[in-house]
Structure 1
């Protein structure tokens, strides 16, 4: 556990990216959100850590009658340690599974053929493998609503593009190494693009604004261009 500036603390829960560490990060996040300490703002879970943001002055107000702590950080660290000691990890009987429709290849996935070539497959085989998997959302990051997904088959792994694109369309489904993900907003990026979803993964006017959260499972479903356009119209 270490300070991150003067209003946050980062809790390192492991060194390897795996489902057990993700489960621990989700459990700690849920516990702190359900039973927040005075001054708590929010938790941000990542692959192997959880960052807790807090209001230093509100924490200091709680320390006025105590001489046990030298700083708000020391107080917050003690409160978090207490939460960790009381933490009970119970794997959810059923994780939430979110189906994401994807139109693969063509103008929607300009790198599909390249991913197929790299792996000695046909484009259809890449699609079949990509849609056969179930993917765990390890964290949301890089851009609002962007899910980092684990569980992709090594059969369709592909390196990042040597020359990143300056603008990637929102909804683009990409592959980078052993990871797959979805760009919720139009941003620069270097992932290999194999398709596009009509779903809005980032919905700023809704609460919560991200369609996905850490701990969710994702299932990609192949759709035709006509189905894509109909679904896209329904999202507008």
Structure 2
């Protein structure tokens, strides 16, 4: 693997590891981020990993772009891919899978001749990698979803997707950390607070984490603080 470096302004370099989504790239991105934190030390402002790239932002008052590039190149030359079994922490997220909070559950089931319970079981059977955070604070892009569950985004996004909604789009899955518009297919809801600006860290999930969804009953969902209000907007 030979990552490409692209200048991203006076205080950042973009390191491209791949041109397409590939779970095999994640151990390299994990290792690069860990090593960059050590190599840059206090000169590092922020690292922003995604599916295929990492944006390295540094303090331009203490380090120019040439110096920052040299640091990045040294990290890349000495980097060994993370072999810890997929990266960061394993996080379990409880989910109530039900058509009232996951309207597309039945649509996906009908597409394959399954029951909604089989769709829920298939979604909960896999472990997912958090590739990136984006869209809104705490929204984790996770993959890879099994091909059988892959669904295109909705033709017309909903104006309101309830907080905690578990959703899929193509071969990605995620959980909405707050009520927002959204075009992903909803299949359930979690009571977990995924983003809180008053806590540290603010987000429940971080890039590199591994996630398992745990199916729970409506009663357990409510006991854990979940809002069982049905989704108001039905996708066209």
Over the aligned positions, Cα root-mean-square deviation in angstroms equals 1.7
Asked if the contact 1:101–1:222 (Cα under 8 Å) also holds between the matched residues in 2, the reply is yes
Q: Distance in 2 between matches of 1:139 and 1:131?
A: 20
Pick aligned residue for 1:188 from 172, 181, 196 = 181
Q: Which residue of 2 aligns with 1:152?
A: 145
Q: Which runs of at least 4 in structure 1 moved beyond 6 Å after TM superposition?
A: none
Q: Structure 2 matches for 1:34-49, cutoff 5 A?
A: 34-37=38-41, 39-49=43-53
CA contact (8 A) 1:33 1:42 kept: no
Q: Which residue of 2 aligns with 1:66?
A: none
CA radius of gyration, larger in: 1
Q: Say yes or no: does 1:106 pair with 2:110.
A: no
Gap regions ≥5 residues in structure 1: 60-71
1:164 maps to 2:149: no
Decide whether the 8 Å contact of 1:38 with 1:58 is kept in 2: no
Match of 2:68 among 69, 76, 79: 76
- TM, length-normalised to structure 1: 0.87
Q: Secondary structure at the match of 1:128?
A: helix
**Contact conserved, 1:169 with 1:185, CA < 8 A, in 2?**
yes
For 1:24, the equivalent position in structure 2 comes to 28
Residue in 2 aligned with 1:125?
Answer: 118
After TM superposition, the structure 1 stretch with the greater mean CA deviation from structure 2, 142-151 or 43-52, is 142-151
TM-score, normalisation: structure 2: 0.87
SS in 2 for 1:116: helix
| Deviation of 1:27 (Å) | 0.6
Partner of 1:85: 77
**Equivalent-residue separation in structure 2 for 1:229 and 1:15 (angstroms):** 42
1:217 aligns with 2:210: yes
Structure 2 residue runs of 5 or longer lacking an equivalent are 227-236
Deviation at 1:92, TM superposition (A): 0.7
Match of 2:9 in 1: 5
User: SS at 1:130's partner residue?
Assistant: helix
Distance 1:34 1:145 in 2: 25
